[in-house]
Structure 1
Amino acid sequence: MKQLVLAGGGHAHVQVLAALAAQPLPGAEVTLVTPQPVLWYSGMVPGVIAGRYAPEEAQIDLAALARRAGVRLVLDAVAALRPETRRLRLAGGAELAYDALSLDTGGELSRDLIDGARDQALFVRPLHSFVQLWPRLQSLAARQPGLQVVVIGGGAAGFELAAAMRRALVAQARVTLVAGNAGLLPSFPRGVRHQALAVLKSRSVTVIADDAVEIEPGQLRLSGGSRLPCDAPVVALGVQPPAWLSDSGLRLAPDGFIATGATLQSVSHPEVFAVGDVSRRIDAPHPRSGVYAVRAGPVLTANLRAWAAGQPLTVYRPQRLALALLSCGDGTALASWGPLSARGAWVGRWKDRIDRAFVEAYREGARVGSLSLR
């Protein structure tokens, strides 16, 4: 039997698992390695923080999905990869041999980008840790009126979380977003940035276009030299490559992520597939977005089947434009599609339907045919 290892329980791998539950992979034993038995769907986490969703509504049960697919589940994290011997070493010390490896582990949020953050900040990733610690911040805000909450990071996650936290904490805390020198939502069109600033201004969220360089007790030092009162720093910066990638032997893109080609395979080791934030398409670069990982899921599934059968693989062509829907924390949302943008409650309802449908597609009894949702 061929050994297929799925490392990581990301957006693409849940689609692989659902497809295997409907139609097993002949001639292969499949193992899923993931640190947690559930996947927190990132598109709904801001809604959980804002109190609009119960935690379980934003979770996909990976353990149940693996069980239905006949896939062995190993609750552990990747620690090292040795492609020359086709072995994966796990954080717990175990090793797994593979004939093919699919990586959907996501990136990591470095604890060392900001001095003092490792010991004093609340990090948005991993999501399960962040959501578990969030009630403590709520309790702290209830005990200390006027608590200074500072979200660090001007990307989509920083915007959504600043809006959600302001909604959840109401008058109990002051929320500031330190967006960085590039400003708020730097990769988005001007119209979206303007509307996002208007949303935060209407919620009394202060936006600062400066970089955070050091977290000190009770304050945050910025690159411009000023200091900002800060009781609860929340780090929502972009992800970096997992530490184990640097000596994995795989060819890496200039930014340190796995360099992949048109068939989602490593350009140096074709038995290794990689999707989502752990990878970088060097032939067709595109923004880091969950939409692309979701779109890659069916192609990855088809290519793993083709690998097992010894057949030609399918090319994944990322879409030129991707829809971005950003939660404003109150049931409204921002939509961005190329140069077009919109804002309102109808966008919020649209986003809610998409997000709920994605998660519900992996509940027991859901039809695999309903998986192509975005």
Structure 2
Amino acid sequence: MATIIVVGAGLGGMSAAYELKAELGQQHEVILINNKPDFEFTPSNPWIAVEWRQRKETSIPIEPYVRKKSIRFIASGLESLNAAQQQLELADGQKLNYDFLVLCTGPELAFDEITGAGPDAGGTSSVCTLTHAEHCRDNVNKLINEPGHVIVGAMPGASCFGPAYEYAFILDKHLRDKKVRKSVPMTFITSEPYIGHLGLNGVGDSKGMLESELRQRDISWICNAKTLGIIDGKMEIDELDEDGNVKRHHSLPYQHAMMLPAFRGIAPLRSIEGLVNPRGFVLVDDHQRNPKYPQIYAAGVCIAIPPLSKTPVPTGVPKTGYMIESMVRAITHNIKAELMGQQPTCKATWNAICLADMGDTGAAFVAMPQIPPRNVAWFKKGKWVHLAKIGFEKYFLHKMQIGDTEPMYERFMLKYLGIDKLE
């Protein structure tokens, strides 16, 4: 019997645990480890921040559901990893050995790289976690009672830009519903070289469409924005030109700010030579396997993907849901092959599919492959995207409860997008 440990129970980790158990059966043990007892549907966090959702609607306890599939669950964080000895230690003191390790840890949020940023420092809010979104909700309620300037956006090194746009549009709708939008100037601050870059060099007409949406909502913007810090109640920003020189300095006072941070790999992995890059992201080959430690596979936000191109302010590459799902399926088939004495052959299909809510409408984009040049570069908007995202939230949470291992993007999202096949 082999022991396969999955670390992290987000989209990638939960799917990996279910799929590995379904493929490998009872003759092999699958253990799922997470630093909290609940699965949280992260895409719903902007809704949490404006009280369109509550915690109980977007999260579920992990253990009761995975136990039904004979998956052992441990609610404890990763403390250290001895990759050479194939052993890990948890925060609760447990030491576990593995035959294969699947890292789906997600990122560490690097708020500390910007002075005063993040919920702990008190300078900015976040929707990166459910707890952060609840803190943001409290800040939004304060804003409604004491209107003032709002800043939304992404800091240097950020790679996940979609939620910043979502939050800006959702907050705009919420403030209009509360009849206070006229008293709340809004500015979108982003490290992207242009609106709609998204860390992907744009997708279709994402630039024109998102600029238009910001204009229609009276949201101004600053691109190539290097956020320096939060000082004396103001956000200090250098706006750079195309050569990386300071074009203009902005010192913006604000009442509420939601800024997405840069990501880095989690602390227990960052010092393991050969496993991670200098930012702590896990190095993987075409089969999602680490070259130095071939018993270790990785998927999702924790893996290393180099930026598509150099930008005046650093930007990263997003890892979207379909891409993560494809990585997990490749890992499952490759581990099964290894247990049968064969070499890994499966590769992930790195396509990007995203549904972004805009409050009462929405935008969808498809990049196939994610890294250009592309066979498909498609970007559209409409009320149907808003409704599709609501449906996808319910579908995904149900999938996590019943342990459904079928590809959710191909089965659910593609019928809305009208694309026959992803390849």
TM-score, scaled relative to structure 1: 0.86
Compute the displacement of 1:179 (Å). Answer: 1.1
- Cα deviation, 1:267-309, whole Å, max 9, x if unaligned, reads 1111111001111368x99752222102222222233333444
The CA distance in 2 between the partners of 1:169 and 1:245, in whole Å, is 41
Residues 241, 256 of structure 1: 8 Å contact kept = yes
**CA 1:336/1:197 → structure 2, altered by over 3 Å: closer, same or farther?**
farther
Find the aligned partners of 1:356 and 1:97 in 2 and give their Cα distance. Answer: 36
Q: Which residue of 1 aligns with 2:319?
A: 288
Aligned residue for 2:371? none
Instruction: Give 1:363 deviation, angstroms.
Output: 2.4
From 216, 219, 233, the equivalent of 1:218 is 233
**Match for residue 357 of structure 2 among 312, 321, 327:** 327
**Distance in structure 1 (CA, Å) of the matches to 2:261 and 2:337:** 37
Question: 1:314 and 1:44 mapped to 2: Cα distance?
Answer: 35
Q: Is the 8 A contact 1:211 1:222 kept in 2?
A: yes
Alignment-mate amino acid for residue 269 of structure 2: L
* Distance of aligned partners of 1:93 and 1:355 in 2 relative to their CA distance in 1, 3 Å threshold: same
Q: CA deviation at 1:214?
A: 1.1
Cα RMSD for the two superposed structures: 3.0
Query: What letter corresponds to residue 191 of structure 1 in structure 2?
Result: D
* 2:263 matched residue in structure 1: 239
C-alpha spacing 1:192/1:31, structure 2 compared with 1 (3 Å): same
Contact 2:188–2:221 under 8 Å retained in 1: yes
Q: 2:143–2:255: 8 Å Cα contact kept in structure 1?
A: no
TM-score, L = length of structure 2: 0.77
Pairwise mapping of residues 166-185 of structure 1 onto structure 2 (< 5 A)?
166-170=172-176, 171=180, 173-180=184-191, 182-185=193-196
Q: How far apart, in 1, do the equivalents of 2:65 and 2:333 lie?
A: 18
Contact 1:25 1:308 in 2 (8 A): no
**Aligned-partner SS, 2:334:** helix
Letter in 2 for 1:178: I
Structure 1, 67-76 or 179-188: larger mean CA deviation: 179-188
Identity %: 19
> Aligned residue for 2:216?
202
2: CA distance between counterparts of 1:369 and 1:290?
14
Match for residue 346 of structure 1 among 384, 396, 405: 384
Distance 2:191 2:20 in 1: 43
**CA-to-partner distance for each residue in 1:54-108, whole Å, 9 max, x for gaps?**
5444335422332222222222222322111222233444432222211001112
Whole-Å separation in 1 of the counterparts to 2:93 and 2:142: 38
More deviation, 2-11/339-348 = 339-348
d(CA) in 1 for partners of 2:61, 2:363: 27
Question: Could you tell which deviates more after superposition, 101-110 or 301-310?
Answer: 301-310
Q: CA deviation at 1:221?
A: 0.8
More moved, 220-229 vs 269-278: 220-229
Q: Secondary structure at the match of 1:333?
A: strand
The alignment covers a number of residue pairs equal to: 370
Deviations 1:207-239 (A, max 9, x none): 222221110232111114321012333221342
Would the aligned equivalents of 1:17 and 1:69 in 2 still touch at CA under 8 Å?
Answer: no
Distance 1:218 1:287 in 2: 30
The reply on whether 1:189 has 2:173 as its aligned counterpart is no
Q: Can you list the C-alpha shifts for 1:218-267, whole angstroms capped at 9, x where unaligned?
A: 21111143210123332213422223322123333465421111222111
Report the AA paired with residue 145 of structure 2: R
**Counterparts of 1:177 and 1:5, CA distance in 2:** 41
1:302 aligns with 2:333: yes
Query: d(CA) in 2 for partners of 1:117 and 1:40?
Result: 23
Moved more, 67-76 or 171-180: 171-180
Residues 11 and 297, structure 1, Cα contact 8 Å, conserved in 2: no
SS in 2 for 1:226: strand
Aligned partners of 2:165 and 2:70: how far apart in 1? 40
In the TM superposition, 1:107-186 aligns within 5 A as 107-118=107-118, 119-124=121-126, 126-144=128-146, 146-153=147-154, 155-170=161-176, 171=180, 173-180=184-191, 182-186=193-197
CA distance in 2: counterparts of 1:356 and 1:208, whole angstroms: 35
Residues 1:40 and 1:201: Cα distance change in structure 2 (over 3 Å): farther
- In structure 1, give the amino acid aligned to 2:130: H
For 1:28-107, what aligned pairs fall within 5 Å after superposition? 28-107=28-107
* 1:113 aligned partner, one-letter code: E
Which of the numbers 270, 295, 302 marks the counterpart of 1:271?
A: 295
Aligned residue for 1:250? 274
| Paired residue type of 2:170 | A
Inter-partner Cα distance in structure 1 for 2:23 and 2:322: 25
Q: Which runs of 5+ in 1 are unaligned?
A: none
- Conserved in 2, the CA contact under 8 Å of 1:104 and 1:278? yes
Q: Distance in 1 between matches of 2:407 and 2:191?
A: 39
Query: Structure 1, residues 106-132: CA drift from partner, whole Å, max 9, x if none?
Result: 112202221121512345365122123
